[in-house]
Amino acid sequence: MQVILAESYGMCFGVRDAIELALTTPHPRELTVLGELVHNAEVLRRVRDAGVRIAPSLEAPVETPRVLITAHGASDAAIRGLRERGLEVDEATCPLVRHAHRMLQRLVNQGYFPVIIGKADHVEVRGLTGDLHEHLVIESPADIERLAGRNRIGVASQTTQPVDYVREIVTQIRQAYPEAEVRFVDTVCQPTK
């Protein structure tokens, strides 16, 4: 058997749609993409060649009147802050990331302490947690001990976490706190699965 490794990989539909939105904007020189649009140098070159600017983060200074939120999404507070800066905001948030936002908010509304399995410094996780008053991001099993004393625990995850890892963390939470009500909503996206 011969294995051939591709020079570049494909992308999920959420990232593909965000790129398409950036490339088809009617006034590309008036648009700045906030954060990482895609991990693909060739695609980023095409976006820049079209006249679209790219800033490193949501908080970066912007010289254009419009900004684009990447497929990773952002918190309502962050989007509100951009609008308060006088910027027009175009949303390219992946529908599956929006679903994760809705599911997490539903858990909070039902009285669960919100837990996100993922990387705390990842832009998607910062978007998921940006509107929460309190939460815990679990990056490793060692973080589970920080849930002590919580009676109702609502668990979601970053959409790109390995689903088997997420399920194992949920099992460990339930084992560590058998007296707690643990509600898990599977927010790992289908392309990742």
Residues designated as active site: 124
CA pair distance 67, 154, nearest whole angstrom: 33
CA pair distance 100, 150, nearest whole angstrom: 22
Question: What token pair was written down for 58?
Answer: 């949501």
Give, as one character, the DSSP assignment of residue 112. P
Look up tokens 């910062």; give the residue: 126
Question: What's the longest Cα–Cα distance across the chain?
Answer: 58
66 phi/psi in degrees, rounded to 5: -125, 150
Q: ∠ CA(134), CA(57), CA(186), 5° rounding?
A: 45
Characterize the bridge pairing of strands 113-117 and 66-69.
unpaired
19 touches 38 (CB < 8 A): yes
Smallest Cα–Cα separation from 70: which of 52, 49, 51? 52
